[in-house]
Amino acid sequence: LTADRYPHLKRDTRYKALTDEDIAFFKSVIKSDAGVITADRPDELEPFNEDWMRRFRGQSKVVLRPKTAAEVAALLKYCNEHRLAVVPQGGNTGLVGGSVPVHDEIVLSLQNMNEIRSFDEVSGILTCDAGCVLEVLDNWLAERGYMMPLDLGAKGSCQIGGNVATNAGGLRLLRYGSLHGTVLSMEVVLPDGRIVELGQPLRKDNTGYDLKQLFIGSEGTLGIITAVSILTPRRPKAVNVAMLGVSTFEGVQEVFKHAKGELNEILSAFEFFDHTCLNLVKHHIPNVREPFTTQTPFYVLIETNGSNKDHDDEKLAVFLENLMTEGVVEDGALAQDSTQAAGMWSIRETITESLAKEGGNYKYDLSVPVPHLYSVVEEMQERLASVGLFDKNGSATGRVKHVVGFGHMGDGNLHLNLTSTGWAKDIDEAIEPFLYEIIQKHGGSISAEHGLGLMKAPYLQYSKSEAFIELMRSMKSVFDPNGILNPYKYFPPLSK
Ligand code: FAD
Ligand code: MLT
Ligand code: ZN
């Protein structure tokens, strides 16, 4: 990142610089030593300043880790009154540079707010602090026969508050729906220190504007989410996982059509990845168990969740037989037990880690109509070849080594990733805005599930009209009139 490409990255002088008096106030609110991390503990401060991809780095001099909503309120009110900019941070697994400071903003981490508040075993409604880690919640629910309605590769670190703030999609959205449907209410703290309940933990509530929806995907720009009530489904009694090899993307679409027809109500995931993704996983992750060795350009991972194993097995048998008879798939394997199922999932879930290990990893997350999903990858390969950065014949001799596609096929969500020898301005400029123009041409979205953060803020107009962005700015000013929350991100710079 360079300041000339992102002119809005200059530090905004409206924000006050941190002083010793500020630190003293923070320590008077959060009494525990571990709750306020200052610059005299640089090793502890460092991880809060750098994002998961090690691409975005800030220079915050203080991290606040309150334990209660009341503490969050006191801290935020003070910051608002003193014009101190604040970055809310969850598990810091976000992939668009939204969770770390750009300059010296204060990091307000939800790490220490991790209590489960209540669970109703009849309705499945869970209420918990925003800092609860997704996997911890899912394990807790498993003991009660329930599950979290979302799952993602970052589950071991990401927090439910961060998931809600980014409107994370993940691996089973096609079955269990988006957080816009499953989140029933939340507790938020506004910059003026008000603690507000946005709704109630009820399935039905038609009383006024549904303000919680605004906070889902607001990426820390409106307020701090301190608690979430979410509807959790029963854990399925029967789970099946299959991996299939397919020779064309048209074939992948055929498999999807069959899955919707023959697996219908039990289909819980439909993921795809290309051949290069699989090779990178094999290269970087030890002991990968390939379920079959036939090499095909595309792979599909299908999961079913149901309540009767015999019924599900029968449906899967018909589905697989139809695919074989029609010659839609080249090869395939059905997991025979939970270990094999986990092995198949781990191939899909370690693609992100494998790409990150390649060096510079340019990540793009987009939606386009399903028939165009993979052509976006091919168009990008052509483009980078035409400017001499990429060798389409697969020799990995260009500075861009790989241009790959994978993602949540069932949701029309592609993760286009490029790996290179390092970050470079000319590579950046070969990709952007070219890619955003392609997405616009297909009537797609420049962010399907990862959000805007710092990375996509300047390009919002490729997906949203001027009038829409103006309305967004108006809403921001209602909740955060002094603009202290997560500045420099989410909105295109006004000077553009
Ligand atoms: P952070 O990264 O800490 O923050 C993300 C944003 O939310 C920031 O703007 C931050 O300011 C804001 N924020 C965080 N907590 C709060 C809060 N309590 N109140 C207000 N604002 C807050 N994403 C998907 O959608 N689908 C996937 O399948 C997926 N898989 C992933 C796999 C891997 C390996 C990794 C590293 C990331 C993946 N992600 C995925 C991206 C990321 O995990 C999600 O966006 C996740 O929801 C972020 O949660 P977090 O707690 O880490 O939030
Ligand atoms: C995924 O689907 O694996 C995630 O969104 C992470 C990524 O895009 O790398
Ligand atoms: Zn994803």
Q: What is the pLDDT of residues 406-454, one digit of tens each?
A: 999 999 999 999 999 888 889 999 999 999 999 999 999 999 999 999 9
Q: Give 100 Cα–ligand 1 centroid separation in angstroms.
A: 11
Residue nearest to atom 7 of ligand 2 (CA): 352
Ligand (nearest to CA of 365)? 2
Peptide bond into 433 cis (omega under 30): yes
CATH number at residue 53: 3.30.43.10
The two tokens of residue 186 are 């939340």
User: Percent of the chain beyond pLDDT 70?
Assistant: 98
Structure confidence at residue 494 (pLDDT):
85
Residues 374 and 324 in one domain: no
Residues 246 and 309 in one domain: yes
- Say if 344 falls within a structural domain: yes
Q: Residues with Cβ within 6 A of ligand 2?
A: 153, 352, 363, 365, 407, 415
Confidence bin at 361 (pLDDT 50/70/90): very high
Q: What does DSSP say about strands 183-189 and 195-198: parallel, antiparallel, or unpaired?
A: antiparallel
Digit-coded pLDDT (tens) for 227-263: 999 999 999 999 999 999 999 999 999 999 999 999 9
Q: Give 327 Cα–ligand 1 centroid separation in angstroms.
A: 40
Residues 158 and 202 in one domain: yes
Q: Which of 307, 327, 351 is the endpoint of a domain?
A: 351
Structure confidence at residue 296 (pLDDT):
98
**Domain tally for the chain?**
4
Digit-coded pLDDT (tens) for 301-342: 999 999 999 999 999 999 999 999 999 999 999 999 999 999
Q: What span, in angstroms and rounded, lies between the C-alpha atoms of 112 and 36?
A: 11
Query: Strands, E, within 388-446: which ranges?
Result: 400-408, 413-420
Ligand (nearest to CA of 364)? 2
List, as one string, the DSSP characters of 286-319.
TT---S-----SEEEEEEEEES-HHHHHHHHHHH
Q: Is 263 in the pocket of ligand 1 (CB under 6 A)?
A: no
Q: Is 217 in the pocket of ligand 1 (CB under 6 A)?
A: no
Q: Give 185 Cα–ligand 1 centroid separation in angstroms.
A: 19
Confidence bin at 9 (pLDDT 50/70/90): confident
Asked whether this complex has an ipTM greater than 0.90, the answer is yes
Q: What span, in angstroms and rounded, lies between the C-alpha atoms of 381 and 375?
A: 10
The two tokens of residue 426 are 């000319």
Q: Is the pTM of this model over 0.90?
A: yes
As a whole number, the mean pLDDT across the chain is: 96
- Tokens 């002119």 belong to 7
Structure confidence at residue 65 (pLDDT):
98
Structure confidence at residue 421 (pLDDT):
86
For 329, the domain range is 238-351
- Say if 121 falls within a structural domain: yes
- Say if 375 falls within a structural domain: yes
- Say if 488 falls within a structural domain: no
